[in-house]
Amino acid sequence: MTATLDATPRPRPGGTPMGKAARLAKARTSSLKFAALPPDPGRRAGVWCKPVTHNASRPPLVWLLGAHGGAGVSSLARQIAPAADCQREWPAVLEGESPFVVLVARESIEGLTRAHDLLRQFHCGQAGPGRVILLGLVTVAFQPGHMPAAIRRYRNVVADLVPENGRLWRIDWQRGWPLSPLADLPVWTPGDDRPAKGRDPLAGVRELGEELLATITALLSGPDIANPSGAHS
């Protein structure tokens, strides 16, 4: 599901590169170079100096780091049982807590810009003491309907900063989120079966939960969980 850009402009019949492909390739190159520059201090997330405070009955398997307020982290943390909100700060991975982090941002120019800042912070080694494993970025629809073209293009540029083995996920517009108290939202738990018939109340988050669990399971069974490919060190 990771969005990528074609860095090779496709030539026109006369040999001239296609304008759109050339612009996208230039944007991608600029974005990757920009990743080497740390964001301004005011645009970085803090780092916990103690284990992350959470209300879960068991330690969370994955942390959701909101790039900004209103990203949708509270709703996702409620609906995905193994996840928890790390409250806008990178976990320091202390006392055996999970190193797995997913960034969350709304599909707006400001939301994606804030996600871009945190991805740069991660790549520049400013996301804590080096034990965080960034699994990817979740973008949450800002409004019903299709993603606006300008947002889609910018999202693709931001996606180039997701770690090599990371993923890019999308949560479609969730009509129930603004209409329900947080405590009333349904919860996905690993192993839950899809409804045999009728509407699936967890349709918006089930795939994300399943893929996060599969990704983490694969990493935990790998030979080197301390520094998998694409993790910050």
- Does the residue 73 lie in any domain? yes
* Reported confidence tier of residue 137, pLDDT bands at 50, 70, 90: very high
Mean pLDDT rounded to a whole number for the chain: 85
Domain that holds residue 179: 19-192+199-220
Contact 63, 56 (CB under 8 A): no
Q: Is residue 7 assigned to a domain? A: no
Residue range 126-141: mean pLDDT, rounded: 95
Q: For residue 58, is it within any domain?
A: yes
Residue 152 has pLDDT above 60, yes or no: yes
Instruction: Tell me how far apart the alpha carbons of residues 12 and 19 are, in angstroms, rounded to a whole number.
Output: 9
Asked if pLDDT for residue 4 goes beyond 60, the answer is no
> Does 185 reside within a domain?
yes
**What is the pTM (predicted TM-score) of this model?**
0.82
Question: Is residue 231 domain-resident?
Answer: no
Determine, yes or no, domain membership for 49. Answer: yes
pLDDT (mean) for 210-230: 76
What is the pLDDT averaged over residues 197-224?
A: 89
Q: What is the pLDDT of residues 18-63, one digit of tens each?
A: 576 677 666 666 666 666 688 999 999 999 999 999 887 789 999 9
Give long-range contacts, CB 8 A cutoff, 24+ apart: 34-42: 34/120, 35/119, 35/120, 35/123, 35/124, 35/161, 36/123, 36/124, 37/120, 37/124, 38/120, 38/121, 38/124, 38/126, 39/117, 39/118, 39/120, 39/121
**Average pLDDT value for residue range 170-192:** 92
CA neighbor of 185 nearest in space, from 175, 196, 194: 175
Residue 53 lies in a domain: yes
Residue 9 belongs to a domain: no
Q: pLDDT of 66-85, one tens digit each? A: 999 999 999 999 999 999 99
Handedness of CA 38, 40, 43, 44 (dihedral sign): positive
Total domains in the chain come to: 1
Sequence-ordered list of residues with C-beta below 8 angstroms from that of 21, at least 6 positions apart, any chain? 6, 8, 9, 10
